[in-house]
């Protein structure tokens, strides 16, 4: 019986890909990307996904989501240009960076990308000057308790200031369009969404009383994935509670979008590494791999991620250390992995690594980044 890797590849396919393309190798599953966005829509039927391009901007990923009619959350001119090259219509983009450069606002205006977020008066003034007439969405600060990556410290205005800011937007000739929030990345508590929806619904009611015709609610990202095989499916458990509160609090005519990144791309990618060195240090096996913290495993630092390291070799396990290929002592991947004794050229693979990993990777020590291959 052939061994099946959790993303659908068999062990023989995995080794065959490495034999053909070398390592480190970053494998994107197109079918998994498509099933992930369909699953998102089935779990949250009132919510339109706008994929957060920053999570992984590889063109093969963007092509799949474009084919699936996804919207896109963009944060830079480079992301806009990439999407325009792929033929994504501007009405399927939201410029969701609350601090935008003036020249990029001009670019967005010229290219009719006119839906964007803000969270301060200074940003409103800038938008009014460089992208006049834009539709603006106020981002509010909400609870991020229990989320792996806290975002409310840096982004979001106080909810009490949302209506005054939207009124100012109207006076500046902009078009107040709605409200957005973000509960924090890899959010494991449905309560964060429930509380944020309560706050947003109050703002919508107040806006209606003040004759501000808001039409859009952006519930951000943060939808969690499982990094380990034994973890439960947090998102599917949270979705019914989120749906219930959406239907209770948000009127049917309000368009609802979200900015999922990790939940769409994370489970669709696998990183395959090779053992390039081996030693015994402090009575423990150390295995040196051909990618590490300065490369595709950068999520360990920048995204607070934890990964499951899998091997094809069998045997009795012992606590081992995995390290990356650079000359920096920081480049240690894990000190506490239960692994059978590995040999040079053995493969180590990591599933659920599609989000942020490749986007953060560097060429430190002039080491090449992992080669990317897309499979069906």
> Is 2.40.37.10 the CATH classification of the domain at 11-26+269-375?
yes
**pLDDT tens, residue by residue, 20-72:** 999 999 999 999 999 999 999 999 999 999 999 999 999 999 999 999 999 99
371-375 and 25-29 beta bridge pairing = parallel
The model carries a pTM of 0.93
Catalytic site includes residue 187: no
3-state SS assignment for residue 243: helix
How far from each other are the two terminal CA atoms of the chain, in whole angstroms? 22
The pLDDT, as a whole number, for residue 69 is 97
**Is pLDDT at 202 greater than 80 in this prediction?**
yes
In which residue ranges of the chain is CATH 3.20.20.10 found?
30-266
Mark 136-152 as b/e (b = at least 16 C-beta within 10 Å): bbbbbbbbbeebbbebb
> How many angstroms from the chain centroid is the CA of residue 48?
16
Mean pLDDT of 359-375: 95
Mean pLDDT of 333-354: 96
Is residue 147 very low, low, confident or very high in pLDDT (cuts 50, 70, 90)?
Answer: low
Residue corresponding to tokens 């290929």 = 325
**Is pLDDT at 3 greater than 70 in this prediction?**
no
Average pLDDT, the chain: 93
Mean pLDDT of 192-203: 94
Count the neighbouring beta carbons within 10 Å of the beta carbon of residue 189: 19
Task: Give the helix/strand (H/E) hosting 315.
Answer: none
Mean pLDDT of 185-195: 85
> How many angstroms from the chain centroid is the CA of residue 124?
26
CATH of domain 30-266: 3.20.20.10
CA distance 325 to 367: 9
In which residue ranges of the chain is CATH 2.40.37.10 found?
11-26+269-375
């Amino acid at each position: 019986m052939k061994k099946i890797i959790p993303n659908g590849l068999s062990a023989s396919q995995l080794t065959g890909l490495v034999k053909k393309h070398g390592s480190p190798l970053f494998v994107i599953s197109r079918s998994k990307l498509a099933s992930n966005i369909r699953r998102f829509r089935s779990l949250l039927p009132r919510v339109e996904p706008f994929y957060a391009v920053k999570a992984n901007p590889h063109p093969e990923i963007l092509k799949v989501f474009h084919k699936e009619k996804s919207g896109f959350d963009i944060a830079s001119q480079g992301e806009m240009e990439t999407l325009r090259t792929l033929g994504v219509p501007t009405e399927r983009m939201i410029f969701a960076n609350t601090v935008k450069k003036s020249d990029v606002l001009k670019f967005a205006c010229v290219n009719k990308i006119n839906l964007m977020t803000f969270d301060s008066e200074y940003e409103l003034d800038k938008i009014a000057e460089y992208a006049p007439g834009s539709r603006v969405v106020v981002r509010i600060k909400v609870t991020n308790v229990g989320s792996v990556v806290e975002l409310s410290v840096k982004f979001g205005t106080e909810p009490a200031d949302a209506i005054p800011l939207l009124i100012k937007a109207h006076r500046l000739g902009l078009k107040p369009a709605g409200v957005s929030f973000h509960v924090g990345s890899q959010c494991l508590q449905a309560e964060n969404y429930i509380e944020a929806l309560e706050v947003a619904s109050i703002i919508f009611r107040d806006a209606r009383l003040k004759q501000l015709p808001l039409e859009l609610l952006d519930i951000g990202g943060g939808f969690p994935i499982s990094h380990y095989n034994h973890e439960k499916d947090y998102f599917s458990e949270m979705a019914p509670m989120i749906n219930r509160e959406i239907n209770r609090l948000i009127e049917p005519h309000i368009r609802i979008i979200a900015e999922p990144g990790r939940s769409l791309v994370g489970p669709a990618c696998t990183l395959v590494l090779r053992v390039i060195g081996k030693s015994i240090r402090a009575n423990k096996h150390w295995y040196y791999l051909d990618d590490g913290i300065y490369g595709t495993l950068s999520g360990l630092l920048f995204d607070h991620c934890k990964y499951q390291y899998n091997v094809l070799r069998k045997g009795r396990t012992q606590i081992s250390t995995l390290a990356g290929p650079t000359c920096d002592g920081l480049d240690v991947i894990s000190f506490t992995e239960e692994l059978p004794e590995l040999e040079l050229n053995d493969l180590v693979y990591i599933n659920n690594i599609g989000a942020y990993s490749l986007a953060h990777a560097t060429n430190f020590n002039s080491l090449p980044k992992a080669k990317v291959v897309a499979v069906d």
